[in-house]
Amino acid sequence: MKKIFKIIFCLFLALSFNFADGSSNLEKSSQKECILNKEINNLNSAIYYGDFNKFVKILNQYPNLINCSDIGNLRPLDYALVYYEKINGDESKPFFEYLVKNGADLNYKIEDALLTPIEYLTIIMSEKYLIEFFNKYKHKININLNYNGFKGTVLTQAHENDYKQLFKLYLENGAIVNDTVLINITYKILEPFYTKTKYFSLKNNKAINEQLEFFKSKEYSDIYSNQLYFLELSLKYLKDKNETTDEMLNKLLAFANLMNDKKLINILTKD
Protein backbone atom coordinates (compact mmCIF):
# COMPACT_ATOMS: atom_id res chain seq x y z
CA MET A 1 0.00 0.00 0.00
CA LYS A 2 2.79 2.43 0.89
CA LYS A 3 4.49 1.86 -2.46
CA ILE A 4 1.25 2.48 -4.37
CA PHE A 5 0.64 5.83 -2.70
CA LYS A 6 4.27 6.80 -3.19
CA ILE A 7 4.05 6.08 -6.93
CA ILE A 8 0.83 8.08 -7.23
CA PHE A 9 2.36 11.06 -5.46
CA CYS A 10 5.56 10.99 -7.48
CA LEU A 11 3.61 10.93 -10.74
CA PHE A 12 1.65 13.99 -9.67
CA LEU A 13 4.81 15.78 -8.61
CA ALA A 14 6.46 15.11 -11.95
CA LEU A 15 3.43 16.44 -13.81
CA SER A 16 3.41 19.55 -11.65
CA PHE A 17 6.98 20.44 -12.55
CA ASN A 18 6.43 19.73 -16.24
CA PHE A 19 3.77 22.43 -16.34
CA ALA A 20 5.48 24.84 -13.96
CA ASP A 21 6.14 27.45 -16.65
CA GLY A 22 2.49 27.72 -17.68
CA SER A 23 0.37 30.59 -16.42
CA SER A 24 -2.86 29.67 -14.69
CA ASN A 25 -5.18 31.36 -12.23
CA LEU A 26 -6.05 29.23 -9.22
CA GLU A 27 -9.78 28.67 -9.44
CA LYS A 28 -10.70 27.67 -5.92
CA SER A 29 -11.72 30.51 -3.63
CA SER A 30 -9.45 29.12 -0.91
CA GLN A 31 -6.51 29.69 -3.27
CA LYS A 32 -7.27 33.33 -4.18
CA GLU A 33 -4.56 34.66 -1.91
CA CYS A 34 -1.92 32.51 -3.54
CA ILE A 35 0.57 34.45 -5.59
CA LEU A 36 1.78 33.42 -9.04
CA ASN A 37 2.28 29.72 -9.69
CA LYS A 38 5.99 30.36 -10.08
CA GLU A 39 6.35 31.05 -6.36
CA ILE A 40 4.37 28.03 -5.14
CA ASN A 41 6.24 25.85 -7.61
CA ASN A 42 9.55 27.21 -6.34
CA LEU A 43 8.52 26.39 -2.78
CA ASN A 44 7.38 22.88 -3.66
CA SER A 45 10.48 22.32 -5.76
CA ALA A 46 12.68 23.26 -2.79
CA ILE A 47 10.91 20.62 -0.70
CA TYR A 48 11.05 17.97 -3.40
CA TYR A 49 14.79 18.42 -3.88
CA GLY A 50 15.54 18.75 -0.17
CA ASP A 51 16.70 22.38 -0.10
CA PHE A 52 15.58 23.32 3.41
CA ASN A 53 17.23 26.76 3.49
CA LYS A 54 15.58 27.81 0.24
CA PHE A 55 12.27 26.41 1.49
CA VAL A 56 12.41 28.47 4.71
CA LYS A 57 13.47 31.59 2.83
CA ILE A 58 10.56 31.38 0.37
CA LEU A 59 8.00 30.57 3.06
CA ASN A 60 9.19 33.41 5.28
CA GLN A 61 8.88 35.78 2.33
CA TYR A 62 5.49 34.41 1.22
CA PRO A 63 3.81 32.85 4.30
CA ASN A 64 0.42 32.69 2.56
CA LEU A 65 1.81 29.89 0.35
CA ILE A 66 1.66 27.37 3.19
CA ASN A 67 -1.78 26.06 2.20
CA CYS A 68 -1.64 26.91 -1.50
CA SER A 69 -1.80 24.33 -4.27
CA ASP A 70 0.43 24.28 -7.33
CA ILE A 71 -0.74 23.65 -10.89
CA GLY A 72 -0.88 19.93 -10.11
CA ASN A 73 -3.23 20.68 -7.18
CA LEU A 74 -0.63 19.60 -4.63
CA ARG A 75 0.28 21.49 -1.49
CA PRO A 76 3.63 21.95 0.25
CA LEU A 77 2.55 19.38 2.86
CA ASP A 78 2.02 16.82 0.09
CA TYR A 79 5.57 17.38 -1.11
CA ALA A 80 6.87 17.15 2.45
CA LEU A 81 5.25 13.73 2.85
CA VAL A 82 6.72 12.53 -0.44
CA TYR A 83 10.13 13.85 0.58
CA TYR A 84 9.84 11.94 3.86
CA GLU A 85 9.19 8.71 1.95
CA LYS A 86 11.85 9.45 -0.65
CA ILE A 87 14.57 9.58 2.01
CA ASN A 88 13.22 6.38 3.59
CA GLY A 89 11.66 7.91 6.65
CA ASP A 90 14.30 10.30 7.96
CA GLU A 91 13.53 10.80 11.65
CA SER A 92 14.05 14.57 11.45
CA LYS A 93 11.08 15.27 9.10
CA PRO A 94 12.28 18.88 8.63
CA PHE A 95 9.83 20.09 5.98
CA PHE A 96 6.79 18.36 7.42
CA GLU A 97 7.30 19.57 10.98
CA TYR A 98 8.09 23.12 9.89
CA LEU A 99 4.90 23.31 7.83
CA VAL A 100 2.66 21.92 10.57
CA LYS A 101 4.22 24.15 13.21
CA ASN A 102 3.60 27.19 11.03
CA GLY A 103 -0.05 26.53 10.26
CA ALA A 104 -0.36 23.94 7.50
CA ASP A 105 -3.92 22.62 7.22
CA LEU A 106 -4.31 18.99 8.34
CA ASN A 107 -7.89 18.46 7.15
CA TYR A 108 -7.82 18.75 3.37
CA LYS A 109 -8.13 16.05 0.71
CA ILE A 110 -4.86 14.77 -0.71
CA GLU A 111 -5.71 14.62 -4.39
CA ASP A 112 -6.18 11.25 -6.07
CA ALA A 113 -5.25 9.34 -2.91
CA LEU A 114 -8.58 10.48 -1.37
CA LEU A 115 -6.97 10.63 2.05
CA THR A 116 -6.62 13.30 4.69
CA PRO A 117 -3.10 14.09 5.91
CA ILE A 118 -3.67 12.23 9.20
CA GLU A 119 -4.78 9.13 7.28
CA TYR A 120 -1.70 9.27 5.10
CA LEU A 121 0.57 9.91 8.09
CA THR A 122 -0.85 6.79 9.75
CA ILE A 123 0.22 4.76 6.71
CA ILE A 124 3.80 5.97 6.42
CA MET A 125 5.08 7.04 9.85
CA SER A 126 6.07 5.15 12.99
CA GLU A 127 3.62 4.56 15.81
CA LYS A 128 5.82 6.31 18.35
CA TYR A 129 6.02 9.47 16.27
CA LEU A 130 2.31 9.42 15.42
CA ILE A 131 1.31 9.21 19.09
CA GLU A 132 3.49 12.22 19.91
CA PHE A 133 2.24 14.10 16.85
CA PHE A 134 -1.44 13.40 17.49
CA ASN A 135 -1.26 14.38 21.15
CA LYS A 136 0.41 17.63 20.15
CA TYR A 137 -1.87 18.58 17.26
CA LYS A 138 -5.17 16.77 17.86
CA HIS A 139 -6.92 20.10 18.40
CA LYS A 140 -6.20 20.83 14.73
CA ILE A 141 -7.34 17.44 13.39
CA ASN A 142 -10.83 16.36 12.32
CA ILE A 143 -10.25 12.69 13.02
CA ASN A 144 -13.37 11.43 11.21
CA LEU A 145 -13.06 13.61 8.12
CA ASN A 146 -13.08 11.19 5.21
CA TYR A 147 -13.00 11.47 1.43
CA ASN A 148 -13.22 7.81 0.38
CA GLY A 149 -16.63 6.80 1.71
CA PHE A 150 -15.12 5.38 4.92
CA LYS A 151 -13.47 2.50 3.06
CA GLY A 152 -10.25 3.58 4.70
CA THR A 153 -9.97 5.57 7.93
CA VAL A 154 -7.37 6.40 10.54
CA LEU A 155 -8.50 3.27 12.38
CA THR A 156 -8.16 0.95 9.39
CA GLN A 157 -4.69 2.35 8.73
CA ALA A 158 -3.62 1.93 12.36
CA HIS A 159 -4.99 -1.61 12.34
CA GLU A 160 -3.24 -2.44 9.07
CA ASN A 161 0.10 -1.31 10.55
CA ASP A 162 -0.58 -3.18 13.80
CA TYR A 163 -0.35 0.07 15.77
CA LYS A 164 -2.17 -0.98 18.94
CA GLN A 165 -1.59 2.07 21.11
CA LEU A 166 -2.34 4.46 18.27
CA PHE A 167 -5.55 2.55 17.51
CA LYS A 168 -6.59 2.99 21.14
CA LEU A 169 -5.62 6.67 21.13
CA TYR A 170 -7.70 7.36 18.03
CA LEU A 171 -10.71 5.63 19.59
CA GLU A 172 -10.35 7.58 22.81
CA ASN A 173 -10.42 10.77 20.77
CA GLY A 174 -13.59 10.03 18.85
CA ALA A 175 -12.57 7.90 15.87
CA ILE A 176 -15.57 6.00 14.49
CA VAL A 177 -15.60 2.20 14.34
CA ASN A 178 -17.15 1.30 10.99
CA ASP A 179 -17.81 -1.81 8.91
CA THR A 180 -14.37 -1.78 7.32
CA VAL A 181 -12.59 -2.02 10.66
CA LEU A 182 -14.55 -5.14 11.65
CA ILE A 183 -14.25 -6.66 8.17
CA ASN A 184 -10.47 -6.29 8.29
CA ILE A 185 -10.20 -7.76 11.79
CA THR A 186 -12.38 -10.71 10.80
CA TYR A 187 -10.32 -11.29 7.67
CA LYS A 188 -7.05 -11.37 9.60
CA ILE A 189 -8.45 -13.87 12.09
CA LEU A 190 -9.94 -16.25 9.52
CA GLU A 191 -7.74 -15.94 6.43
CA PRO A 192 -4.81 -18.08 7.70
CA PHE A 193 -7.13 -21.06 8.14
CA TYR A 194 -8.34 -20.86 4.55
CA THR A 195 -4.79 -20.63 3.17
CA LYS A 196 -2.77 -22.79 5.58
CA THR A 197 -5.14 -25.61 6.55
CA LYS A 198 -7.31 -28.04 4.59
CA TYR A 199 -11.10 -28.24 4.43
CA PHE A 200 -11.70 -25.22 6.65
CA SER A 201 -15.24 -23.87 6.72
CA LEU A 202 -17.26 -22.03 9.33
CA LYS A 203 -20.12 -24.38 8.44
CA ASN A 204 -18.22 -27.42 9.71
CA ASN A 205 -19.55 -29.07 12.85
CA LYS A 206 -16.08 -29.18 14.36
CA ALA A 207 -12.50 -28.36 13.52
CA ILE A 208 -10.12 -31.10 12.41
CA ASN A 209 -6.87 -31.79 14.28
CA GLU A 210 -4.77 -29.87 11.76
CA GLN A 211 -6.84 -26.74 12.33
CA LEU A 212 -6.78 -27.08 16.11
CA GLU A 213 -3.02 -27.52 16.07
CA PHE A 214 -2.58 -24.48 13.83
CA PHE A 215 -4.83 -22.46 16.15
CA LYS A 216 -2.46 -23.24 19.04
CA SER A 217 0.72 -22.67 17.03
CA LYS A 218 3.14 -19.82 17.69
CA GLU A 219 2.74 -18.71 14.07
CA TYR A 220 -0.95 -18.05 14.56
CA SER A 221 -1.17 -17.17 18.26
CA ASP A 222 0.65 -13.85 17.80
CA ILE A 223 -1.69 -12.86 14.97
CA TYR A 224 -4.73 -13.95 16.94
CA SER A 225 -3.73 -12.16 20.13
CA ASN A 226 -3.24 -8.90 18.25
CA GLN A 227 -6.58 -9.17 16.48
CA LEU A 228 -8.43 -9.89 19.72
CA TYR A 229 -6.95 -6.69 21.12
CA PHE A 230 -8.27 -4.70 18.15
CA LEU A 231 -11.62 -6.49 18.25
CA GLU A 232 -12.27 -5.94 21.95
CA LEU A 233 -11.48 -2.24 21.67
CA SER A 234 -13.59 -1.89 18.53
CA LEU A 235 -16.62 -3.47 20.17
CA LYS A 236 -16.19 -1.26 23.22
CA TYR A 237 -16.46 1.85 21.03
CA LEU A 238 -18.89 0.51 18.41
CA LYS A 239 -21.96 2.74 18.46
CA ASP A 240 -24.18 1.39 15.70
CA LYS A 241 -24.50 -2.17 14.46
CA ASN A 242 -25.83 -3.00 11.02
CA GLU A 243 -26.18 -6.00 8.73
CA THR A 244 -22.49 -6.07 7.87
CA THR A 245 -21.24 -5.77 11.44
CA ASP A 246 -23.67 -8.50 12.52
CA GLU A 247 -22.39 -10.73 9.72
CA MET A 248 -18.77 -10.27 10.83
CA LEU A 249 -19.59 -10.91 14.48
CA ASN A 250 -21.54 -14.05 13.58
CA LYS A 251 -18.58 -15.34 11.57
CA LEU A 252 -16.29 -14.75 14.53
CA LEU A 253 -18.70 -16.47 16.91
CA ALA A 254 -18.85 -19.49 14.60
CA PHE A 255 -15.05 -19.55 14.55
CA ALA A 256 -14.87 -19.28 18.34
CA ASN A 257 -17.22 -22.24 18.69
CA LEU A 258 -15.21 -24.30 16.18
CA MET A 259 -12.03 -23.71 18.16
CA ASN A 260 -13.83 -23.82 21.51
CA ASP A 261 -12.15 -20.54 22.39
CA LYS A 262 -13.81 -19.10 25.47
CA LYS A 263 -11.82 -15.87 25.30
CA LEU A 264 -13.27 -14.89 21.93
CA ILE A 265 -16.74 -16.06 22.98
CA ASN A 266 -16.55 -13.82 26.05
CA ILE A 267 -15.47 -10.82 23.96
CA LEU A 268 -18.34 -11.34 21.52
CA THR A 269 -21.02 -11.95 24.14
CA LYS A 270 -19.96 -9.28 26.61
CA ASP A 271 -22.71 -6.76 27.36
Per-residue pLDDT, 32:
52
Per-residue pLDDT, 36:
53
Which architecture, in CATH terms, is 2-152?
Alpha Horseshoe (1.25)
Per-residue pLDDT, 270:
87
Q: For residue 22, is pLDDT > 60?
A: no
Residue type, 4: I
> SS3 of 9, please?
helix
**Is 32 or 85 the better-scoring residue by pLDDT?**
85
Per-residue pLDDT, 86:
84
Residues 76, 63 contacting (CB under 8 angstroms): no
Q: For residue 15, is pLDDT > 50?
A: no
Cross-strand partners of 146: none
CA–CA dist 165, 234 (Å, integer): 13
Q: What are phi and psi of 4, to 5 degrees?
A: -60, -50
Residue type, 58: I
**Is 70 or 243 the better-scoring residue by pLDDT?**
243
Over residues 137-155, mean pLDDT = 87
Each domain of the chain, given as residue ranges in start order, spans 2-152, 180-269
Q: pLDDT tens-digit profile of 165-223?
A: 999 999 999 999 999 999 999 999 999 999 999 999 999 989 999 999 999 999 999 99
Cross-strand partners of 115: 110
The CA distances from residue 226 to 55, 156, 178, 232, 251, in Å, are 42, 14, 19, 10, 18
Q: pLDDT tens-digit profile of 88-111?
A: 666 668 899 999 999 999 999 987
The CA distances from residue 89 to 80, 85, 140, 152, 259, in Å, are 11, 5, 23, 22, 41
Q: For residue 76, is pLDDT > 50?
A: yes
CA–CA dist 181, 196 (Å, integer): 24
CA–CA dist 140, 84 (Å, integer): 21
Question: What pTM does this model have?
Answer: 0.84
Q: For residue 35, is pLDDT > 60?
A: no
